[in-house]
Amino acid sequence: MPILGPNQYGKAENRVVRITRHGATHHIKDLNVSVSLSGDMDEVHYSGSNANVLPTDTTKNTVYAFAKQYGIESAEQFGIHLARHFVTSQQPIRTARIRIEEYAWERIEHSGEGAHSFVRRGQETRLAQITYDGSAWEVVSGLKDLTVMNSTDSEFSGYVKDRYTTLPEAYDRILATDVSGRWRFNWTDDGHPTPDWDHSYEQVKRHMLEAFAQTYSLSLQQTLYQMGSRVIDHRDEIDEVRFSLPNKHHFLVDLEPFGLKNDNEVYVAADRPYGLIEATVLRDGCEAKIPADLTNL
């Protein structure tokens, strides 16, 4: 006899833009919010009874109403407000998971009156996932599509070779990747101060970038570990960091047929296939909880 397994439902990708006006100076928060709810939902699957179902349209409306009621201090704090509301206001709902992408804007400086012109900032997308089951919180922040490159201070040599190996050893190569990373906070709501989510995000990103820039890399794996270690060492509020780093290969172009010497100056950028390096860096004594597949987070 078939039985129902884990299930959830909600409204995905609610785009909400919140403008906060301080006189002529405006501030923008631009979010993509996905709500997923689970709990006592067996009957809607077995018999079609909607008695325990909060409509997904209601969850959408709640996102917009809360943007007005609470404002959007940060993606994490907004997600906490939403998750707490769904679990505490609806008895059949046992767990709420809120996933948020944030798109950053920076002010365009100009000589006119006011400060209300903006341009999309940076390439990366900020991420947050908040999960609440009525007693325990899990807050995971992150980013994706942060493209970085070192034009030197990178090698790849001494690796295993077999009959199919054709890759030459490289002692001065380009190292480039699109950083996709998530980090899990050790914050719980039992009397512990709430982290400054925005400041924490900026500091984690800074430590990642500094580690990438300052590591003489013998492998992308080594660089990944240094990036995660620096975050764990410098940010006490974080217990786990997980990265997915595609190796954006750059190969030296053979210019000898043209009578030219290529002294590590001209490369071809290959977008596929690519090496994919993934790993988790943990605070000693902590358990890994971030899924290996970051696309499912």
Place of tokens 């071809």: 268
pLDDT, residue 119, reads 64
Selection from 110, 114, 15, 90 nearest residue 60 by Cα: 15
Portions of the chain given CATH number 3.10.270.10: 1-135, 144-184+192-297
Tell me which of 114 and 157 has the higher pLDDT: 157
Q: How confident is the model at residue 8 (pLDDT cuts 50, 70, 90)?
A: very high
Whether pTM exceeds 0.75: yes
Q: What is the CATH topology of the domain spanning 1-135?
A: Urate Oxidase (3.10.270)
Phi, psi at 193, each rounded to 5°: -60, 140
pLDDT digits (tens, 9 = 90+) for 254-273: 889 889 898 888 888 988 89
Look at 51-55, 69-73, 94-98, 114-118 and tell me which has the smallest mean pLDDT: 114-118
Q: How far apart (Å, rounded) are the C-alpha atoms in residues 233 and 284?
A: 11
Distance CA 297, CA 293 (A): 7
What is the distance in angstroms between the CA of the first residue and the CA of the last residue of the chain?
31
Burial of residue 162, with CB atoms counted within 10 A of its CB: 0-12 exposed, 13-18 middle, 19 or more buried: exposed
Please state the φ and ψ torsions of residue 238, each to the nearest 5 degrees: -120, 135
CATH of domain 144-184+192-297: 3.10.270.10
Percent of all residues in the chain with a pLDDT value above 90, rounded to a whole number: 76
Task: State the catalytic residues.
Answer: 11, 56, 249
Asked if 72 and 82 touch (Cβ cutoff 8 Å), the reply is: no
207: left (phi over 0), alpha (psi -120 to 50) or beta: alpha
Q: How large is the average pLDDT for residues 4-27?
A: 91
Is the pLDDT assigned to residue 54 strictly greater than 90? yes
Long-range contacts of the stretch 172-176 (C-beta < 8 A, 24+): 172/264, 173/250, 174/149, 174/150, 174/250, 174/267, 175/149, 175/150, 175/217, 175/220, 175/223, 175/247, 176/147, 176/148, 176/149, 176/150, 176/247, 176/248, 176/250
What does the mean pLDDT of the chain come to?
92
Q: Based on the number of CB atoms within 10 Å of its own CB, is 18 exposed (0-12), middle (13-18) or buried (19 or more)? A: middle
Using an 8 Å Cβ cutoff, are 241 and 181 in contact? Answer: yes
Q: How do strand 267-269 and strand 250-252 relate by DSSP bridges? A: antiparallel
Strands (E), 79-216: 93-103, 105-107, 118-120, 125-132, 137-150, 175-185
> Which residue's entry shows tokens 């206001």?
89
Which pLDDT does position 111 carry in this prediction? Answer: 46
CA dist., res. 238 & res. 141, Å (int):
10
Tell me: pLDDT of 296 over 80: no
- How large is the average pLDDT for residues 60-81? 95
